[in-house]
């Protein structure tokens, strides 16, 4: 039987959404937890009980350990998971937590990428396609992280050179939000802290832009999260 995947959430409105749906469609059990305030890894299940780990987004900085002690617990979990070969997926803040836990530098507030944009694929990849391919994605971030040693950067934008990376077969991350469906976008637009990130121009067109790009983004989510599900299943 496939061991469950632990999905780490940071705020209620950043849910697994498509990630959870696709794991379930692939018969991968998963559990959702929030350890932002934890001070010890004792709150976590043993690694040997997990099939994989996914870390979702959130409004805090990846290195805000003094405000959110659980982020340091997550960073330690990342390092232990990498050493143990546990499949690891990071989205937005999760992408930054994984990178910084492995020694990469975080640059706070240097980008302002919100709404539907385009990434350029910079390395041939089974999720994104051949190098030079352009893909629509949903960005919602101001911080930027470099890639850790040993990582292959897969996608880039001018403001965010590291939009996605892999390390071997076990680690895959995205700065952008492949997990977001229309329902969750609607929830975000009703959260003042989220909506305040958007300029009036982006706010006026984000729903139409999302609807136009959604079929392509859903196909990317199916491919990316389906591959993650298979790596979890392979762990047994």
Q: Which residues are catalytic?
A: 92, 177, 179
DSSP annotation string for 177-235: -TT--HHHHHHHHTSHHHHTTS-HHHHHHHHHHHHHHHHHHHHHHHHHHHHHHHHHHHH
Q: Name the token pair of 40.
A: 């010890």
Burial class (CB in 10 A: 0-12, 13-18, 19+), 140: buried
The full length of the chain comes to 236
Burial class (CB in 10 A: 0-12, 13-18, 19+), 19: buried
Contacts of 71 (CB under 8 A, 6+ apart): 36, 60, 62, 63, 64, 65, 97
Q: Name the token pair of 46.
A: 């043993």
């Amino acid at each position: 039987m496939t061991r469950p995947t632990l999905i780490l959430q940071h705020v209620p409105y950043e849910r697994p959404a498509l990630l959870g749906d696709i794991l379930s469609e692939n018969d991968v059990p998963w559990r959702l937890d929030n350890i932002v305030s934890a001070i010890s890894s004792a709150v976590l299940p043993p690694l040997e009980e997990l099939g994989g780990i996914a870390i979702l987004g959130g409004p805090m900085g990846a290195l805000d350990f003094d405000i959110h002690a659980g982020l340091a617990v997550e960073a330690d979990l990342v390092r232990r998971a990498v050493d143990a070969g546990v499949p690891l997926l990071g989205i937005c803040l999760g992408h930054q937590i994984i990178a910084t836990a492995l020694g990469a530098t975080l640059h706070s507030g240097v980008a302002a990428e919100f709404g539907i944009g385009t990434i350029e694929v910079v390395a041939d990849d089974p999720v994104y396609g051949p190098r030079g391919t352009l893909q629509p994605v949903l960005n919602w971030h101001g911080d930027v992280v470099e890639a850790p040693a040993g990582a292959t950067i897969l996608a880039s934008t001018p403001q965010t050179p590291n939009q996605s990376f892999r390390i071997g077969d076990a680690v895959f991350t995205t700065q952008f939000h492949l997990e977001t469906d229309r329902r969750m976008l609607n929830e975000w637009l009703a959260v003042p802290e989220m909506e305040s990130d958007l300029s009036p121009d982006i706010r006026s067109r984000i729903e139409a832009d999302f609807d136009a790009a959604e079929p392509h983004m859903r196909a990317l989510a199916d491919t990316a999260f389906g591959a993650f599900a298979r790596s979890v299943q392979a762990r047994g």
